């Protein structure tokens, strides 16, 4: 389980929600339409706060890597399921294996990691009917070992160790 780094918009979002509640309360005292503003603030707080707390879970079973996104520990959605035998390569994002994606519009980079600068991230080059992708994940040592034993295209650098 990898927690996504907090967005810089978290504090302004909560300040906006508090202001919306205050305005809705003030308007509800003056007018009956204030109740609508209070309901809008409650809905924005509920649905918006769920998007601010994101975690990713990686499940590796029978040569398939499933990547799930968990919002506020409430809802889970399967983001991607990758067949390890079909990956082109998997390597550390700190290595030079993925230098070709910089400035390349043909390859889409999808980040399923914590987003922290010091994170030990790995990229998975994968092609399917939708195009070419590099999926960025933050695996722990056990997941790396399992994936290495399943596919030869997994490159693990010896001097880089996962913290998970």
pLDDT of residue 159: 46
| Token reading at 100 | 């070709």
pLDDT in tens, 67-118: 999 988 888 999 999 988 888 888 888 888 888 887 788 889 999 998 888 8
| Token reading at 136 | 């960025």
Number of residues in the chain: 164
Label the pairing between strands 75-83 and 89-92. unpaired
Model pTM?
Answer: 0.75
pLDDT of residue 158: 53
**Per-residue CA distances from 151 to 16, 38, 98, 143 (Å):** 48, 54, 18, 12
Strands (E), the chain: 2-3, 54-61, 64-71, 75-83, 89-92, 107-111, 122-128, 131-137
pLDDT in tens, 112-151: 998 888 888 999 999 888 889 999 999 988 888 888 887 7
Q: How far apart are the first and last CA of the chain?
A: 9
Are 99 and 81 in contact by the 8 Å Cβ rule? The answer is no
pLDDT of residue 99: 84
């Amino acid at each position: 389980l990898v927690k996504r780094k907090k967005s810089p918009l978290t504090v302004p979002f909560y300040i906006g929600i508090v202001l919306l509640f205050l305005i809705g309360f003030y308007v509800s005292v003056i007018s009956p339409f204030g109740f609508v503003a209070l309901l809008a603030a409650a809905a924005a707080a509920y649905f918006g706060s769920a998007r601010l707390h994101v975690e990713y879970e990686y499940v590796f079973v029978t040569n398939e890597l499933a990547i799930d996104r968990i919002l506020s520990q409430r809802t889970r959605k399967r983001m991607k399921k990758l067949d390890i035998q079909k990956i082109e390569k998997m390597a550390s994002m700190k290595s030079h294996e993925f230098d070709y994606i910089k400035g390349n519009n043909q390859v889409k980079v999808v980040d399923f990691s914590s987003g922290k600068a010091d994170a030990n991230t790995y990229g998975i080059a994968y092609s399917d009917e939708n195009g070419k992708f590099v999926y960025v994940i933050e695996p722990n040592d056990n997941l790396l070992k399992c994936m290495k034993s399943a596919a030869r295209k997994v490159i693990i650098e010896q001097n880089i160790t996962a913290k998970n």
